Amino acid sequence: MAGICCGVVGDAENPATIEPTSSRPLARRSLDLLPLKYIADMAVPPPEGSRKRQKLDLSASPARECENAVESSKSNSSKLKEELNIKKESTNHEASSSSEVPTLISKEKNEVVEECPKYGVTSVCGRRRDMEDAVSVRPSFCQVQNGTNTNDQNDVPFHFFGVYDGHGCSHVATMCKERLHGIVKDEIGKSQENFEWKSAMEKSFTRMDDEVQSWSHSNQTSTCRCELQTPHCDAVGSTAVVAVVTPEKIVVSNCGDSRAVLCRNGVAIPLSSDHKPDRPDELLRVQNAGGRVIYWDGPRVLGVLAMSRAIGDNYLKPYVISEPEVTVTDRSEADECLILASDGLWDVVSNDTACGVARMCLKAQKLPSPPGSPGRDVAADGSDKACSDASILLTKLALARHSSDNVSVVVVDLRRDQRQQQS
């Protein structure tokens, strides 16, 4: 794995050879001084409405953090331990890596479709004092057929992936993790006719923002740091980049400076645009609302917030809004993977480099074989391992490039199953 990482550290298209230097042990020791908290391949709830037996131990908390929670493959675990001095995550990885891949058979086309694409998740506290990122992975969070929400076993499953980068404290990001996928599901179910993804996602983000405001002004209490210091604090918010993956489309909604990037046929295609205060259209919007963008360690709304859109941040409204930008992309046979990450990655790693890391990990593994064929179980596990390796390598690369923020990465394998071609 170390060889893979060295091959993609540079932004150039052709990987450059990294010469060993005497400063490498010193850099490693400097990282060891900082407590790094990892959550890798975090357990997720079973697909809603799924009839298949899940291997997830529901007694374990899916959002549990521990100081050293990177889980890697057997062949590479010793190298990862030496580089970051961490132990294996105790969370059971079988929740997201099952030897029996659930499938859905379409009655009309008589084709086999994966119920949930393989994915890998890594979340790192990094050099920050607190972990304020949150990640949500909800396989088959919504079952849809002909535009309606039903419980038919042959309904088409939608899959939800979200990365939330909190600021001020973690409770808004945590609320988004727990609630936003349910709100999106509800909005999809409400739209019986003339369904539009843009409208549904905008309403979902507005409802999420309203819930955050209501909670902030209620008498409810929490044990997070900001509530202990300042009750009912309004100076807390979170970015949100979410992707709903269907058999035919990738729907990305972004609010803030987290980002979604699609790797298609070796080309990095951004599916979202960062909401930075100095982005020309965002700067004009803030000024028209009566606000100002002040350069204080970079452009900030009123000299405070380094993004122009976010969920929460009630004290900065109407300058900071929760309205997302929505893109709907048709899936292609050339699609390789989807990367969602907080700005802790994108501040120091380019889109092209991130896709290069993910592609090299995916190419190291074979695509899943048809059911019943020799070696199918190994291939199924390998696909998930590749996504896990990619997410881990990307976080390690961000730390090596001195990212000072929390880093959260989700890598989703979008490669089409080749069963039809092999049959």
Kindly tell me the burial class for residue 123, based on how many C-beta atoms sit within 10 Å of its own C-beta (0-12, 13-18, 19 or more).
buried
Mean pLDDT, residues 162-189 taken together: 95
pLDDT level of residue 265 (50, 70, 90 thresholds): very high
Compute CA distances 396 → 6, 64, 96, 384, 393, whole Å. 11, 21, 21, 19, 5
Residue 345: how many CB atoms within 10 A of its CB? 30
Q: Which one of 89-98, 176-185, 358-367 scores highest in mean pLDDT?
A: 176-185
pLDDT the model gives residue 50? 44
pLDDT tens for each residue of 139-152: 999 988 654 455 55
Query: Which domains, from first to last, does the chain contain?
Result: 2-273+324-422 (3.60.40.10)
- The chain-wide mean pLDDT, for the chain, equals 74
pLDDT tier, 190 (very low <50, low <70, confident <90, very high otherwise): confident
**2-11, 39-48, 126-135, 336-345: least confidently modelled range:** 2-11
Give me 414's structure tokens: 């979008």
Give the pTM: 0.72
pLDDT band at 155 (very low <50, low <70, confident <90, very high): confident
How far apart CA 275 and CA 255 sit, in angstroms, is 7
Model pLDDT, residue 224: 67
**Three-state DSSP state, 103:** strand
Give the DSSP H or E segment for 287: helix 280-288
Say what the pLDDT of residue 241 is: 98
**Two tokens at 343?**
């700005």
Interacting residues of 387 by C-beta distance below 8 A, sequence separation 6+: 118, 119, 120, 337, 358, 361, 362, 411, 412, 413
Measured CA to CA, the distance from residue 115 to residue 106 in angstroms comes to 11
Question: For the residues of 330-360, what is the DSSP string, one character each?
Answer: E--TTEEEEEEE-HHHHTTS-HHHHHHHHHH
Q: Determine the average pLDDT of the residues in 85-113.
A: 34
pLDDT (tens digit, 9 = 90+) per residue, 195-244? 899 999 999 999 999 999 988 777 666 666 666 555 557 889 999 999 99
DSSP 8-class letter at 121: E
Which range (73-87, 378-392, 398-412) has the least confidence? 73-87
Nearest to 308 by CA among 357, 273, 339: 273
| pLDDT of amino acid 234 | 80
Query: Model confidence over 29-82: pLDDT tens digits?
Result: 344 434 444 445 444 445 554 433 333 333 333 333 333 333 333 334 444 344
User: Which residues fall within 8 angstroms of residue 221, CB to CB, at 6 or more apart?
Assistant: 227, 231
Confidence (pLDDT) at 231: 54
pLDDT surpasses 50 at 17: no
SS3 content of the chain, % helix, strand, coil (to 5): 30, 25, 45
- CA separation for the pair 354, 97 (Å, rounded): 23
Task: Pick the more confident residue, 222 or 324.
Answer: 324
Going by pLDDT thresholds of 50, 70 and 90, the confidence category of residue 401 is very high
Per-residue exposure over 384-422, b if at least 16 CB sit within 10 Å of its own CB, e if not: bbbbbbbbbbbbbbbbbeebebbbbbbbbbbbbbebeee
Place of tokens 């499938």: 103
Secondary structure (3-state) at 390: helix
- Looking at the DSSP assignment, which residues form a beta bridge with residue 244? 160, 251
Please write the tens of the pLDDT for every residue from 333-386.
Answer: 999 999 999 999 999 999 999 999 999 999 987 655 555 444 433 334 445 899
- Quick one: which of 125, 207, 138, 110 has its CA closest to 166? 125
Tokens of 115: 């119920």
